[in-house]
A and B are shown apart, each in its own frame.
Chain A
Amino acid sequence: MSALASRRITDDLVRPLTRTSWRFYLLVALFGGIVATAATAWLSQAYFGFGVTGIRWPVYWGFYVTSFVFWIGISHAGTLISAILRLVNAGWRRPVTRCAEVITVFALMIGALFPIIHLGRPWLAFWLFPYPSERLIWPNFRSPLVWDFFAINTYLTGSVLFLLLPMIPDFAVVRDRSTGLRHRVYKALALGWRGTPRQWHRLESAMHIMAIAILPVAVSVHTIVSFDFSMAPVPMWQSTIFGPYFVAGAIFSGIAALIIAMAVLRRFLHLQDYLLPLHFENLGKLLLVMALLWGYFVFNERLVTYYGNGPAEMAVFWRTQRESFAPLYWTMVICNFVAPLVLMGIRRLRTITGTVIASLGVIVGMWLERFLIIVPSLGHKYLPNSYGIYRPQPVEIIVAFSTFAAMALLYVLFAKFVPIISIWELKSGPQTPASGVADASHGAVSTAVRGAQP
């Protein structure tokens, strides 16, 4: 790669950090306002009592737990996908990985808030943590909620490391191109990075270890989230298929979130030269594969329930299949299966617009999927006398949907402070063949980094 091209990449990708337009402030104000509204709504819930929500006997989980599962699912966008792409050394991954890893970290942060948001007494949330209390009471390690705590924390720690490691050389680039306060901040963040072969070697090995270690963690996280449901004797919850079903759904919604984020970044940060139609097409193919897998799991879940013909299960089954929840159910099937199959199956439609439309559908569909797993079962549990209908109230609706604004806010802020595309990875050559990438990248990038120093 020529020094000129390399300089242009650096210029293009560092520009969003140094130049701030009024649109940035507008977006931050807009999304920040929505998040502040939601925080107020939640504080009012804590103040007036949980009764301001639509939660009721016997539907004790609703929008909050739906959002929890949904966002933990979205978090599989990143680390998992980028780890897989790194391990198979897919060259087209380079501009995509950081967008994806950021989604993971932020989605986990948002998702992990919901177990606290939905508590009856959130001020005692620390009782979920295993800390040596003076009364020697530990959390109940048999509870799937405590497993969640460990799984999510492990995944969050791993994802943050996985995100931070490849950011170090980029921090160094920004450090070398900035002055004043910004220089001092990025100098601290760059951890003394000088681009020596030794440092490159260590970075590569650390990332390789993390990529391998994060895969089982990612799979375990959503399996454990699915255990929240499959461990309870509730009709249509107690299913052995929930682990892989949830993981597949999580990766599915994660890819969709990644495609949307990439399309937005491409447009607003003018990254047309870096996020190419090819990337969207490849991710569209992944989306197609996951749509087929998801369709298989739903079909399997439904068919097994239907053949088992248990009275309690069948009550829930028909409720989603053709009674009150049927409109939502069939919307989900169309959004998650029919639409992606058509849009991603036909090559001509696998464009940027096509993949984004399919992804928006998948986001809607996957949110509905989580809702349809939780609410119809709880409202139709065994004894017909105790059936109940859940109607979400404004507080829950605001809090649940403001999370999208929270995600956007975090993303906007992140893109302001960190190059959203990994500069050094991009420079290590998108078209280089799989073998020899590592060697080639070392030389090229360390030269580039050194060359960028004033």
Chain B
Amino acid sequence: MAADLDRCTGCGACVTACHAENNISTVGADQAARGRAKHWIRVERYWEGEFPDVQLKFRPVMCQQCDNAPCEPVCPTYASHHTPDGLNAQVYNRCIGTRYCANACPYNVRFFDFFNPSWDKPLHLQLNPDVSLREVGVMEKCTFCVQRIKSAQIQAKAEDRKLADGEVQPSCAQACPAKALVFGDLDDPESAVSRLTRSPRGSKLLEDVGTRPNVAYLSRQTEV
């Protein structure tokens, strides 16, 4: 995935779309204030400079699907593991809730289910049947909408063709009105996301930690 910070307006559509797509339970204002909100993707907001000369910056942060993910080796039960596709998968049913993966994650993009899931009415009527619900005591995180990737792969295989670039869109990228989020196959050097990743504006988040993340951030052009 690539995120063009020049395009991101910080509207939060990606966060809402992600909640709807992935059956992320809402916890209410009280629990959210206690740090129990689960936003698989969040828009980080930073103010730079002194008033009145301030600049507002946004950065959408989701699981970076690291190649060298610190969350994977620490999990004692293989709940957090690497798929052949290169995704960091989280097997909810295998998770026993040591929360070690979340501590090891430098991006803080893993979320713990402190209670059994519940939704304010009528949100409970719009659950996505393709995504499993998570019970209390397990860890959950961004999957790059693996349910969409898998169904598109199955569809393409049934039609005996290759997946086209841009055919799969995670809900955040689909919802982004500014088209700041671009998703695709990094193994294909001609895909849109590969080209953006190679851009001179591109960089990785916390690259020096050594996680080899798979999300490229394109810096704002005013700064280049």
Q: Is the A/B pair a real complex?
A: yes
Q: Which A positions have Cβ atoms within 8 angstroms of B?
A: 48-51, 54-61, 115, 118-122, 124-125, 127-128, 137, 139-140, 142-146, 149, 228, 231-234, 378, 381-386, 388
- Interface digits, B132-153 against A, CB 8 Å rule (1 contact, 0 not)? 0001111100000000000000
Nearest residue, chain B, Cβ from A129:
B76
How many residues on chain B are close to A (CB under 8 Å)?
46
Contacting residues, chain A, for B73 (C-beta < 8 A) = 140, 142-143, 231
Task: Tell yes or no: B100 within 8 A of A by CB.
Answer: yes
Measured between alpha carbons, how far is A51 from B116 in the docked complex, in Å? 10
- Classify the secondary structure of B's interface with A: loop
B34-51 contacts to A, CB under 8 A, are 34-37, 42, 44-46
- Interface digits, B115-142 against A, CB 8 Å rule (1 contact, 0 not)? 1100000000000000000011111000
Measured between alpha carbons, how far is A143 from B45 in the docked complex, in Å? 34
Q: Is the CB of A60 within 8 A of B106?
A: no
Task: Tell yes or no: B154 within 8 A of A by CB.
Answer: no
Interface residue from B108, B113, B114, B137 paired with A386 (Cβ < 8 Å) = B108
A104 smallest CB distance to B (angstroms) = 25
Task: Tell yes or no: B112 within 8 A of A by CB.
Answer: yes
Contacting residues, chain B, for A388 (C-beta < 8 A) = 35
Nearest residue, chain B, Cβ from A135:
B94
Contacting residues, chain B, for A142 (C-beta < 8 A) = 73-74
- Interface digits, B80-120 against A, CB 8 Å rule (1 contact, 0 not)? 00000000000000111111101110111001111110000
Q: Which B positions have Cβ atoms within 8 angstroms of A?
A: 31, 34-37, 42, 44-46, 59, 61, 70, 73-78, 94-100, 102-104, 106-108, 111-116, 135-139, 206, 209-211
Q: Is the CB of A60 within 8 A of B107?
A: no
Q: Is the CB of B70 within 8 A of A57?
A: no
- Classify the secondary structure of A's interface with B: loop
Contacting residues, chain B, for A58 (C-beta < 8 A) = 35, 102, 108
Given A119-B137, A124-B96, answer yes or no on A50-B75 (Cβ-Cβ < 8 Å). Answer: no
Given A382-B206, A385-B46, answer yes or no on A120-B97 (Cβ-Cβ < 8 Å). Answer: yes
Given A145-B74, A378-B103, A383-B108, answer yes or no on A233-B209 (Cβ-Cβ < 8 Å). Answer: yes
Nearest residue, chain B, Cβ from A377:
B103
Interface residue from A118, A127, A231 paired with B77 (Cβ < 8 Å) = A127
Q: Is the CB of A120 within 8 A of B99?
A: yes
Interface residue from B36, B95, B103, B137 paired with A234 (Cβ < 8 Å) = B103
A-B contact pairs, 27 of them (CB 8 A): A50-B115, A56-B35, A57-B102, A57-B108, A58-B35, A60-B102, A118-B99, A120-B96, A120-B112, A120-B138, A127-B94, A128-B77, A137-B77, A137-B78, A142-B74, A144-B74, A146-B76, A149-B76, A232-B70, A232-B100, A378-B103, A382-B108, A382-B209, A383-B106, A383-B206, A385-B42, A385-B61
